[in-house]
Structure 1
């Protein structure tokens, strides 16, 4: 959107990269493979040591392209998924690949997610499906497993909101075991002994790995990264970027449903 400021996204590259200039989502490459398609979501050239990159945005022409069926199929719509928010039958699904240590993921959680829940999720238009995509090391992985463990007691989103309730230091102990236990307690997780056991379990590791593998397979390299009915939105963009894409996706879903009748 011309004239709209765009925030940065976090990636595996570790030092901040310059530039507040608006960038366009430069590459969306869909390559046919034997079983799966690969989407290359490019935020610019990352550095080899880990940190932030300048943002990419959804250009107007890109937003008008039909959603790719391979990417649409990533929406699980599992009614028993505790890491999902909203009706499984919602016409629009936003898939979020995030890291609890990512400052821009926190920005999305605090500034944009509440508006999306109020205006779309609560009205049955949008479903949000979380994918753990830990890219900043051991504490990121531990936090991801803690979120999954909270979800086993139906408190994932409460844990999510607590973890992102304020900016936290990266790899400085803010996501240590004691700190995660305190977050779980504040999030209303009742059985903390079970929480700790679940957090350390193979099932938690496998769930986080499944999400990460899915992201890497389609070319996600930075957090936060989103798919909205198969269309990529990269970085903690202003809220109106998300609402524009959601509105368009909902309208296209409605037209398709009318055409099928």
Structure 2
């Protein structure tokens, strides 16, 4: 019994150390970016954590509609995004297609998205809408449709009617079901929980990324993402 209790305490200590290290990474990225708790276009910083195991926020669920890539890929790139964030749109338009081609399609990296709502009620509504599209296998198509029309340097205006229009653009097959899902209390609760967890972790700027035991803030150039992911892949062995 004593031996079992010691093992349990050791596991708790490891989890606690991992979270503390992750929060340290987040704070380093925030302070170095020189920006406030909003979208971060300027170069972010990466920092090393003391524990190299994957954080518990990595899902690795084969049926996850908010993920792309091999569930057994060596590295999971975790992204936090707000659909009204102009710099999240820059990442989606300019960087994500290259990462998909060079890292996801080759089996090196899996991408898992966490939605946040940092820019008001419309951000939360958009997160619900993306999840509703995900119910029909169109989560990433929906994000792409929204981000393709995002205004440069400004928060997108996303009323309900426009959210439904984006569903049509994304090829969501059942628009009636999608529209009904916009009022699904379960989807909204999941979006709110994702937002709360991000705040608890200290993720206060978007886009924000974690791969392995390092973090990256902002819509960085593709060269920065290549260095970031190559280092994580090498460390994963």
- Normalised TM-score (structure 2): 0.82
Residues 1:109 and 1:33: Cα distance change in structure 2 (over 3 Å): same
> Residue 67 of structure 1 contacts residue 231 of structure 1 at CA under 8 Å; is this kept in 2?
no
> Which residue is 2:224 aligned to?
241
The alpha carbon displacement at 1:36 in A equals 5.0
> Which residue is 1:107 aligned to?
90
Residues 1:244 and 1:150: Cα distance change in structure 2 (over 3 Å): same
> Residue 128 of structure 2 contacts residue 188 of structure 2 at CA under 8 Å; is this kept in 1?
yes
Structure 1, 178-187 or 229-238: larger mean CA deviation: 229-238
Residues 1:53 and 1:110: Cα distance change in structure 2 (over 3 Å): closer
> Which residue is 1:96 aligned to?
79
CA–CA separation in structure 1 for the residues paired with 2:19 and 2:45: 23
> Which residue is 2:155 aligned to?
170
Q: What is the SS of the residue equivalent to 2:126? A: helix
CA–CA separation in structure 2 for the residues paired with 1:142 and 1:110: 22
Please provide the CA RMSD for this pair. Answer: 2.5
Higher helix share: 2
Does residue 135 in structure 1 map to residue 122 in structure 2?
no
> Residue 226 of structure 1 contacts residue 232 of structure 1 at CA under 8 Å; is this kept in 2?
yes
Residues 1:119 and 1:66: Cα distance change in structure 2 (over 3 Å): farther
> Which residue is 1:223 aligned to?
206
> Which residue is 2:177 aligned to?
194
Does residue 39 in structure 1 map to residue 16 in structure 2?
no
CA–CA separation in structure 1 for the residues paired with 2:146 and 2:78: 19
> Which residue is 2:9 aligned to?
none
Residues 1:54 and 1:107: Cα distance change in structure 2 (over 3 Å): closer
> Which residue is 2:45 aligned to?
58
> Residue 67 of structure 1 contacts residue 229 of structure 1 at CA under 8 Å; is this kept in 2?
no
Does residue 180 in structure 1 map to residue 163 in structure 2?
yes
Structure 1's unaligned 5+ residue stretches are: 1-30, 255-261
> Which residue is 1:161 aligned to?
144
CA–CA separation in structure 1 for the residues paired with 2:35 and 2:235: 34
Q: What is the SS of the residue equivalent to 2:23? A: strand
> Which residue is 1:11 aligned to?
none
The alpha carbon displacement at 1:167 in A equals 2.4
Query: Residue deviations 1:116-161, cap 9 Å, x none?
Result: 0000000011111010011000111111100000000000111011
- Counting matched residue pairs gives 216
> Residue 40 of structure 2 contacts residue 219 of structure 2 at CA under 8 Å; is this kept in 1?
no
Higher strand share: 1
Query: Residue deviations 1:141-188, cap 9 Å, x none?
Result: 1111000000000001110110101323536xx311110100000101
**Which one has more relative contact order, counting CA pairs under 8 Å at least 6 apart?**
2
Structure 2's unaligned 5+ residue stretches are: 1-13
